[in-house]
Structure 1
Amino acid sequence: VIYFTHIISLSLSFSSSTLRILSTIYSASLSEMWSYVCLPFLLLFWNDLAVAKASESIFLPTQTGADSSRAFGPVCSSPDPNLNYRPVIGILSHPGDGASGRLTNDTSTTYIAASYVKFAEAGGARVIPLIYNEPEELLFQKLELVNGVIFTGGWAKKYEYFDIVKKIFNKALERNDAGEHFPVFGICLGFELMSIIISQNRDILERFDAEDNASSLQFVENINIKGTLFQRFPPELL
């Protein structure tokens, strides 16, 4: 605008050739000015377009294959904000009220000690109760919703409780054999029941009498504890 006004004011005193020179200078200056103004916007638009295109397809390193165009792109998918990625652990209930019948003597009563729930939650998991005496169809529907199972401590080694533990354990084996990582964690009675199921020997358990005895674990020779719970144990406990 400044150049244009200046040209108009001097047009009466300058020759036509002079006007052509000034007009050329004005046009060049205006073009240069638009370049400075538009270039940042073009760069910003191009950057946004590149980011949007990159977010459409995100690949793992093994998925890039021989396609070199993806070699330096994103390598993992962004989390879905609508999904909860915390694992869900099913805890099997135990017969009784957990208080030796002081709360109720109903034979259909079942309980899960809060300590097992807190144990799973302390590791970042969510918990679903698996009621051992509920209809099996419902129980196995819930089993399909969990990422692992905990068998708790207790006293019930026979009859209906043992049968349902065995069925759940076999379901877990099927899922692991199919390639799914489905852990089963047994505590006290839970570990004993798994020992009976795996060995197919109900007499495998032996009585013992020990109290306040801090002893180390004794492993068989050449055992590999890498990747197991015992890998993190200090040497003095092994």
Structure 2
Amino acid sequence: MITVPLSPRKKFYSVCGDSYIASSHVTWLKRQGIKIVPIPYTTKNPKYYMSKVNGLYFPSGGAFALNSKEYYKICKEFVRLAMKENDKGNYFPIWGGCMGMQQLVIIADEQDNLDTLLTQFDSFNNLLLNLDITENGRKSKMFRNATPEFMKTLEIVSTNKDRQGKTFVSTIEGRFYPFYGVQWHPERDDTMDYF
């Protein structure tokens, strides 16, 4: 799991230092028996960490490509290395949650457009929405094995609209690589352990 940058102006800087991982992410993965290796976003040796892990998790947090280019660059390097592993036949997934999905989207665009690729939406302060899954989404690796009961329980129905009615992408899945991103927070509720 890549750590999230924390600037000296932030509340918990004196406790956490220059980066952190929210406990909700760690707890969610540990419930599934997944061991966590914190990867400092400042690492100068991503290949070392690639040799120690079998997947990557880009968590949510307060660092965006626009305000933390160093974080974006390390995420991009890890995506490049994960693609190489998959190209060699080694299954190497990436999960991006919220901010992590945003990093994946900018990286996938291949233009390094940190300033204007992503658009702002009126979804702050816990806007709760059902997912509107596309027809392709129902066949995706992420959702194809979900039972009808699970789908009904979640009312998963994955684009969404913000408070102003503006549509945004809320779930992505790589076409050629096992890379997944969600613009929502399954780590905050144990009923989302399916994911």
TM range (shorter): 0.5 to 0.7
State the distance in 1 between where 2:137 and 2:21 align. Answer: 34
Q: Which consecutive unaligned segments of at least 5 residues does structure 2 have?
A: 158-195
Match of 1:154 in 2: 61
State the superposition RMSD in angstroms.
2.6
Match of 1:7 in 2: none
Greater Rg, structure 1 or structure 2? 1
Paired positions, count:
143
Verify: 1:117 aligned to 2:26, yes or no. yes
The structural deviation recorded for 1:204 is: 2.4
Q: Is the 8 A contact 1:98 1:111 kept in 2?
A: no
Match of 1:80 in 2: none
Q: Is the 8 A contact 2:8 2:18 kept in 1?
A: no
Q: Is the 8 A contact 2:6 2:13 kept in 1?
A: no
Which structure is higher in helix share? Answer: 1
Q: Is the 8 A contact 1:148 1:184 kept in 2?
A: yes
Verify: 1:217 aligned to 2:135, yes or no. no
> Which of 208, 219, 230 is the equivalent residue of 2:121?
208
State the distance in 1 between where 2:142 and 2:8 align. Answer: 28
State the distance in 1 between where 2:7 and 2:15 align. Answer: 8
Match of 2:105 in 1: 195
State the distance in 2 between where 1:118 and 1:208 align. Answer: 29
TM-score by length of 1: 0.53
Q: Which amino acid aligns with 2:121?
A: F
Change (3 A) 1:98 1:177: farther
Determine helix, strand or coil for the equivalent of 2:62.
coil
Q: Which amino acid aligns with 1:216?
A: L
Match of 1:229 in 2: 142
The structural deviation recorded for 1:105 is: 9.1
Which structure 2 residues correspond to residues 175-194 of structure 1 after superposition, within 5 A? 175-194=85-104
The structural deviation recorded for 1:212 is: 3.5
Verify: 1:95 aligned to 2:22, yes or no. no
Change (3 A) 1:187 1:126: same
Q: Which amino acid aligns with 1:204?
A: L
Match of 1:78 in 2: none
Change (3 A) 1:234 1:181: same
TM-score by length of 2: 0.64
State the distance in 1 between where 2:8 and 2:97 align. Answer: 16
Identical positions, percent: 27
Change (3 A) 1:193 1:120: same
Q: Is the 8 A contact 2:133 2:156 kept in 1?
A: no
The structural deviation recorded for 1:183 is: 0.5
Change (3 A) 1:113 1:105: closer
Determine helix, strand or coil for the equivalent of 1:237.
coil
Cα deviations by residue, 1:74-105 (Å, 9 ceiling, x for unpaired): xxxxxxxxxxxxxxxxx000111799234429
Change (3 A) 1:102 1:179: closer
Q: Which consecutive unaligned segments of at least 5 residues does structure 1 have?
A: 1-90
Match of 2:48 in 1: 141
